[in-house]
C-alpha cells in the first residue's frame, strides 16, 4: 500500500527519486554485512513484548521488525521502497516469522490515529526529507501511553561525516528538505516531538564495524551498495567531478579508520531514544 493520493506532484516526484535511490545498489547486503546488531538493540530498548501492536517506519529489510516479531508482537513493517520490503519478506520467511509488510511514505502513513502500542524506526525515518511531517506521523499513529523508539545516526558520528563529505558533490536539496543525521541530534529530536511525548531515555551508542579488511574495502562497499552514495557519485560524474569525489570519499574512510593493518575497524555513533506518547 502506498499513500500518495492528494500529495503535490513535486512531492510525489521527490519520493519516487527516494524509492529509486534506496533500490539501487545492495542495501540488503549492507544490512547483512554490518548493520544487523542495530535492530535488536532498538527492540530491547523499546521493551517490545508479545501481544503488542508495533509499527516499524522506514523498516527496510526488517532489521528491527524481525526481532520485534520474534517476541510475539504483532508487527507491521512499512517502507517507501518495495524492493527492500520484498527482501524483508524473504528474510521473514527464512526465519519462520509472520508480520505485515506495507509500502508507505513516512510523511503520510496510511494508518489510523493511535493504532499502535509501539512506533519505532532504526535508521529509517531519519531519511524522510521533511522531518517535522515525519515526526508528526510517528506521534499521530502511536496511542496515548504508547512508546516511540528511534535509533538514528548522529551528525557528529561516522555517517554524519560521510554526508558532509558527499554534500559538495550532491545536487541542491529540494525546498524544505533537511539533512538526515539531524535526527541524531538530541536538541533537534526534542524539538520535533515537542511536549507530545515524555522522553524516557536518550543515549548515544556505538556500532563497531570489523567486517572489512581495509578502508578501501569499506569505501568500495559504500560506493557500490549504498543508495545515497551511488546517487551523489552519479551527480559528480555528470559534473565531471567523479575522480574528485572518489579521492574525497577514500580520504574520509582512511581518516576514520581504526584497528590494525590486518583488519580495519570503525565506530559508528547513533542516538537511541525511547519516549512515551502523552
CATH number for the domain including 151? 3.40.50.150
Q: Which three cell numbers stand for residue 67?
A: 526481532
Average pLDDT, stretch 143-154?
Answer: 98
Element (H, E) at 148: strand 142-153
Q: Which three cell numbers stand for residue 216?
A: 578501501
At residue 154's C-alpha, the angle toward residues 153 and 159, to 5°, is 60
CA 169 to chain centre: 22
pTM of this structure: 0.96
Residue 249 lies in a domain: no
The residue written with cell numbers 519516487 in the block is 16
pLDDT band at 262 (very low <50, low <70, confident <90, very high): confident
Based on C-alpha coordinates, what's the Rg of the chain? 18
- What is the structure's pLDDT at 7? 62
Domain that holds residue 135: 9-160+171-207+269-277
Residue 214 lies in a domain: no
Contact 273, 189 (CB under 8 A): yes
Residue 255 lies in a domain: no
pLDDT band at 2 (very low <50, low <70, confident <90, very high): very low
Residue 91 lies in a domain: yes
pLDDT band at 10 (very low <50, low <70, confident <90, very high): confident
Residue 203 lies in a domain: yes
- What is the structure's pLDDT at 254? 97
Instruction: Identify the CA nearest to 43 among candidates 141, 120, 101, 116.
Output: 120
3-state secondary structure of 143: strand
Number of compact structural domains in the chain: 1
Distances in Å between the alpha carbon of 102 and those of 133, 137, 172?
19, 15, 30
List of residues 6+ apart from 119 with CB closer than 8 A: 54, 55, 57, 138, 141, 142, 146, 147, 148, 149
Distance CA 3, CA 206 (A): 34
Contact 34, 209 (CB under 8 A): yes
pLDDT in tens, 25-63: 999 999 999 999 999 999 999 999 999 999 999 999 999
Residue 165 lies in a domain: no
pLDDT in tens, 115-126: 999 999 999 999
Residue 263 lies in a domain: no
Alpha-helical segments (H) within 96-214: 131-141, 158-166, 186-193
Rounded to the nearest 10 degrees, what angle do helices 9-23 and 227-238 cross at?
110
The residue written with cell numbers 507530545 in the block is 196
Task: Let me know if 5 is exposed, middle or buried by CB neighbors in 10 A (0-12, 13-18, 19+).
Answer: exposed
Q: Which three cell numbers stand for residue 224?
A: 557500490
The residue written with cell numbers 570503525 in the block is 266
Amino acid at each position: 500500500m502506498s499513500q500518495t493520493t492528494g500529495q503535490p506532484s513535486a512531492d510525489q516526484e521527490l519520493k519516487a527519486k527516494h524509492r529509486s535511490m534506496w533500490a539501487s545498489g545492495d542495501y540488503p547486503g549492507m544490512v547483512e554485512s554490518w548493520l544487523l546488531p542495530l535492530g535488536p538493540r532498538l527492540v530491547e530498548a523499546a521493551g517490545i513484548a508479545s501481544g503488542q501492536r508495533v509499527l516499524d517506519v522506514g523498516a527496510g529489510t526488517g532489521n528491527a521488525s524481525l526481532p520485534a516479531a520474534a517476541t510475539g508482537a504483532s508487527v507491521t513493517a512499512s517502507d517507501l521502497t518495495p524492493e527492500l520490503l520484498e527482501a524483508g519478506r524473504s528474510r521473514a520467511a527464512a526465519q519462520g516469522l509472520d508480520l505485515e509488510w506495507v509500502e508507505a511514505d513516512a510523511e503520510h502513513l496510511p494508518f489510523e490515529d493511535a493504532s499502535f502500542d509501539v512506533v519505532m524506526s532504526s535508521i529509517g525515518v531519519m531519511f524522510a526529507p521533511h522531518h517535522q511531517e515525519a515526526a508528526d506521523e510517528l506521534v499521530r499513529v502511536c496511542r496515548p501511553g504508547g512508546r516511540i523508539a528511534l535509533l538514528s545516526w548522529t551528525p557528529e558520528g561516522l555517517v554524519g561525516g560521510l554526508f558532509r563529505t558527499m554534500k559538495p558533490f550532491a545536487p541542491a536539496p529540494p525546498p524544505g528538505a533537511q539533512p538526515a543525521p539531524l535526527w541524531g541530534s538530541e536538541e533537534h529530536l526534542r524539538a520535533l516531538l515537542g511536549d507530545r511525548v515524555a522522553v524516557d531515555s536518550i543515549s548515544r551508542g556505538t556500532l563497531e564495524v570489523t567486517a572489512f579488511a581495509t578502508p578501501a574495502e569499506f569505501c568500495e562497499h559504500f560506493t557500490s551498495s549504498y543508495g545515497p552514495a551511488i546517487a551523489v557519485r552519479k551527480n559528480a560524474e555528470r559534473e565531471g567531478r567523479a575522480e574528485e569525489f572518489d579521492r574525497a570519499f577514500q580520504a574520509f574512510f582512511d581518516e576514520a579508520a581504526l584497528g590494525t593493518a590486518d583488519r580495519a575497524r570503525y565506530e559508528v555513533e547513533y542516538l537511541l531514544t525511547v519516549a512515551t506518547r502523552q
